[in-house]
A = this chain, B = another copy of it.
Amino acid sequence: MKAYKELSKAELETLRTQLQKQYEDAKGKGLQLNMSRGKPSVAQLDMTMGIMDVIDSKSVLKSESGDDCRNYGVMEGLAEARKLMGDIMGVPEDQVIVCGNASLSIMYDTVSRAMTHGILGNTPWDRLDTVKFLCPVPGYDRHFAITEHFGIEMINVPMHQDGPDMDMIEKLVSADDSIKGIWCVPKYSNPQGVVYSDKTVERFAALKPAAKDFRIFWDNAYIVHHLYEEKQIEIPDILSACVKYGNEDMVYEFCSTSKISFAGAGIAAVASSEANLSEMKKSMTIQTIGYDKLNQLRHVKYFKNLDGIKDQMKKHAEILRPKFEAVINELDKELSGLGIGSWMKPYGGYFISFDAMEGCAKNIVAKCKEAGVVLTGAGATYPYKKDPWDSNIRIAPSFPTPEDMAAATEIFVLCVKLASVEKLLEEAA
């Protein structure tokens, strides 16, 4: 197949007519498909139902150290839950606090606390004229929503195959002390599935930020979320890497079991230096008497250890893989060589990122919608929901069946083609 850009105007017009015909047919089918929901499928949730039985009314609901998990207290989380989450992140349990069901809340609270109380004695961010965060793009909309909510200025940093543009990051953070943070999903990034290279992690650890209270928000949301057993990519532990460079306080690392156990009823954790954790605990002890320890116990009893987590992730992968492949195969088959889009095959995580021709993403999303296929809004993967190139689209394959994903992707590629032809004809006009 010839690249669209090499087609003559007449060829493009013929193509448009064909595609429009196909599109009208597709619309006629009255499909109702959804590629926007980055949440586990019913099959994945069903697979984990055993977790509901590991504790019941006959159980002794005590932690290993004898804490009554039903009562108040143990704010930093059960020791065994801290160990489990620490093992997932590859950090010692005393560097871990286990909280409630959402790592997003820990991130929000961490930014909120920096706003009102500052970090380790530095000026609270809300007393500064300008606070900026670096945002590798495309990225996770809910990260950007937090910084936007607190009026933090966001600066786009392009993502490459091995992580964000480190030259740009090094230059910016060393020159500007109003840059206080960066959002990172270092493994199987949302939405591209990029895994930061060892070199990238090393360069993060070695940053020399102008701001003493610059923090890396290291959201290791997909740390064990591999799709292929033979292709499990591991990255260095950022916390110990930072210690080597005298940057031990520079990172807050987050993870959760939302996509390991239940999306709505998992447990979440933060790992950081002793100084950072000690500061967090000062606020947490005002905010709560303790998180839900019964759910922590439930997770520890069900998964037991890191091997239990790994077994679980293999089962998730078996359910997820065909859905990812349904999308990737259709993209490969229908769009390869046309020069109207690019995509990466992810080896883990929850998303596929598609870059359309500049100026086409909104049109594609709108066309899909009209044909009964819901996509995440174009621009969602950028701060302020503004994709400067109107190009990136996030595809979430996890929730529908593989068959539905294939059907939805058929509509998607058709809309990509049609929107691209329309764009090229517009440019030719």
Contact = CB atoms under 8 A, between A and B. Distances in A.
A291 B105 CA distance: 10
Interface in A55-80: 55-57, 59, 61, 68-74
Given A57-B53, A116-B115, A283-B149, A264 B102 contact: no
A112 interface: yes
A225 to B, nearest CB: 16
A175 interface: no
B105 A73 contact: no
A262 B70 contact: yes
A265 B117 CA distance: 29
Contact of A71 (B39, B51, B59): B39
B292 A100 contact: yes
B52 A55 contact: yes
Given A112-B116, A116-B115, A68 B45 contact: yes
A36 to B, nearest CB: 12
A126 interface: yes
A389 interface: no
A264 B126 contact: no
Nearest to A45: B70
Interface string A70-112: 1111100000000000000000000000001110110011001
A263 B117 CA distance: 29
Interface in A89-145: 100-102, 104-105, 108-109, 112, 115-117, 124, 126-127, 142, 145
A289 B256 CA distance: 13
Nearest to A287: B108
A402 interface: no
A28 interface: no
Given A42-B68, A72-B39, A262 B294 contact: yes
Contacts of A145: 286
A126 B105 CA distance: 21
Nearest to A150: B116
Contact of A265 (B45, B286, B294): B294
A286 B146 contact: yes
Contacts of A263: 70-72, 289
A101 B105 CA distance: 14
A74 B101 CA distance: 14
A73 B294 contact: no
A235 interface: no
Contact of A293 (B40, B45, B115, B265): B265
Contacts of A117: 149
Nearest to A148: B286
Interface in A281-306: 283, 286-295
Contacts of A50: 57
B45 A264 contact: no
Interface of A: 39-40, 42, 45, 48-53, 55-57, 59, 61, 68-74, 100-102, 104-105, 108-109, 112, 115-117, 124, 126-127, 142, 145-146, 149-150, 258, 262-265, 283, 286-295
Nearest 4 interchain pairs by C-beta: A49-B57, A70-B262, A265-B294, A108-B287
